[in-house]
Amino acid sequence: MSTASSVLLQFLELITALIAAPLLTGWVNQCRAWLGNRSAPPLTQFYRQLAKLFEKEVVLAGNASSLFRAAPYIIFACMVLASTIVPTLSTDLPFGPAADAIALVGIFALARVFTALAGMDIGTAFGTLGARREMLIGFLAEPALLMVFFTTSLISQSTSLSTIVETLGQREFAIYPSLAFAGVAFTMVSLAENARIPVDNPTTHLELTMIHEAMILEYSGRHLALIEWAAALKLYAYSCLGLALFFPWGIPEGTGIFNLLVALPSLAFKLAIGGFLLAAIETVSAKLRIFRAPEFLGTAFILSVLAMLVHLLLEAPK
Amino acid sequence: MSDNLHLAIPLYAQVINLLAAILLLLSFAMLAQRRILSLINLFMAQGMVLFASTAVVAAATDQHHLYWSALITLVLKVFLLPWILHRLIRRLNVKWDVETLINIPTTMMIGLVLVIFSFNLALPISELAGTITRSTLGIAMAAVMLAFLMMITRSKAVPQVIGFLAMENGLFFAATSATYGMPMVVELGIALDVLVGMVILGVFFFQIREQFDSLDIRHMEKLKDD
């Protein structure tokens, strides 16, 4: 294990995440536009938006506290850290041992808490409303996400993401009903966590139905740019996590240049398909009433618990 | 650490495990379902899974009588019973109203507890069984329990009958997984019983509705007119 090259790879993974996250969001928006029979914005639209927002000056409310100014940086840092922990280009990452799957859930929770606090900081009605809804969704989604991780951890006997991905990638072909259940549960959770359509509409302009958007209504300029970028990174991290756990083929263990040549195109290919499927799900489903969201996430929780039980009953070595 | 991933489970056993998992999922879906029409479709899907798993067990173990029970399952539970149920709800004009006594997330949570209970209950029994499908016994028991729960939590007559039929599905699956099916005579008898029971209950539906103007069986708890 050569440390220098794995550090380089870790750095490369960080750069890839920062560059690819806006591209992924742009791709999903493009697919949504195509499926909705509209003319699509260019793939680079998100970059332009970020550049525009970084140039604009920040307008702060009179009673904004320092927490309001600090929150975008904390949220952005959380998402950057999360996307460096998830193995995308290699499983041999120096950051890997720093945080396992459970700590990753904690990082997402930290970002959520700060988004909610910043939403309530100014004291507008919409910010508070969004924060409350976000915490409702979060506290229902988190146990389901943890149960998904526990199922994969039981299969691979480790909570470290690198080990999980390595073990799942190397196994010989076998039908795992538990992984299928966990995959469906994970998809439902990531739809809810990324403010996607069955739970929240990312492109809505109607404040009363907003969840994520309502919390960030007061932000402008570079703060808004950082938050938007963090949201794109979150979507990227969740997509990579899903791909790494349920379609781990193509993630090499070594750090050689040749491995990278395999890893990058396979990642791009899988993300493109995943993004298209996400857009397809969003196009065919309608937004749920907010009071139906607990039922949606309850189903995800039940599925993930069933995944664990089915694993213990059917697949555990006797 | 990757040693325990090399499960020495042959492919057909994996397929049976997968089908068992789908059966469990369908039981939960039935528990959560609000509409009678989808309930019947789910029941049909359950029959389909039952047919597939019985056929796979038959092929894997070379038990010829299981092919017959698979065929009976296909005809009875995938075509005949759903057809009768569809006709019934069309004649009774009840496509939408399913009323649950407890709200659905709570029912699902109770269902989860039941699943854990029946998995634990089945564990020592499946240790004794020598069949390739023994690990699915827990799922079969869970399916029976969930169907039972559905019968308890529904107040209308039609979902209760579907719950009863789903319970029979679970029992049939338990018989296949624990002992490679029952003797042919018993199986034929049960199939006929279910069919006759369905026909009689169909007549009952009309009688209940004529008497009380609704299919809510809570009306039957009142013993005298007021």
Provide ipTM, 2 decimals.
0.81
Domain that holds residue A273: 3-315
Angle at B48 between CA B63 and CA A311, to 5 degrees: 80
More confident residue, A187 or B33: A187
In this model, does residue A284 exceed pLDDT 50?
A: yes
Cβ separation B17–A177 shorter than 8 A = yes
The secondary structure of residue A169, as a DSSP letter, is H
Query: Which residue from A229, A252, A226, A241 is spatially nearest to A99, judged by alpha carbons?
Result: A241
CA distance A104 to A100: 6
Q: Across the strands, what pairs with B100?
A: B154
CA distance A140 to A234: 18
Give chain B's length: 226
* A294 touching chain B per CB within 8 A: yes
pLDDT in tens, B199-221: 888 888 888 887 777 777 777 77
Cβ separation B17–A178 shorter than 8 A = no
When divided into structural domains, chain A yields a total of 1
Give chain A's length: 318
pLDDT in tens, B4-58: 444 556 788 888 888 999 999 999 999 888 888 889 999 999 999 999 999 998 8
What pLDDT band is residue A254 in, cutting at 50, 70 and 90?
Answer: low
**Residue range A215-221: mean pLDDT, rounded:** 91
Identity of the residue in A174, A299, A309 whose CB atom sits nearest the CB atom of B14:
A174
- Chain B residues with CB under 8 Å of A312 CB are 119
CA nearest to B22 within chain A: A177
Q: Do A230 and A81 contact (CB within 8 A), yes or no?
A: no
Phi-psi region of A100 (alpha: psi -120 to 50; beta: other; left: phi over 0): beta
Element (H, E) at A54: helix A45-55
**Residues of B at the A interface (Cβ-Cβ below 8 Å)?**
1-2, 4-7, 9, 14-15, 17-18, 20-22, 24-25, 28, 32, 104-105, 108-109, 111-112, 115-116, 119, 135-136, 138-139
pLDDT at B97: 63
pLDDT at B3: 42
- Chain A residues with CB under 8 Å of B108 CB are 298-299, 302
The token pair at A253 is 């263990």
Query: Which residue from A308, A122, A98 is spatially nearest to A214, judged by alpha carbons?
Result: A122
Q: Do B137 and B121 contact (CB within 8 A), yes or no?
A: no
Residue pointed to by tokens 């409303």: A129
Cβ separation B108–A177 shorter than 8 A = no
Residue pointed to by tokens 């990324």: A194
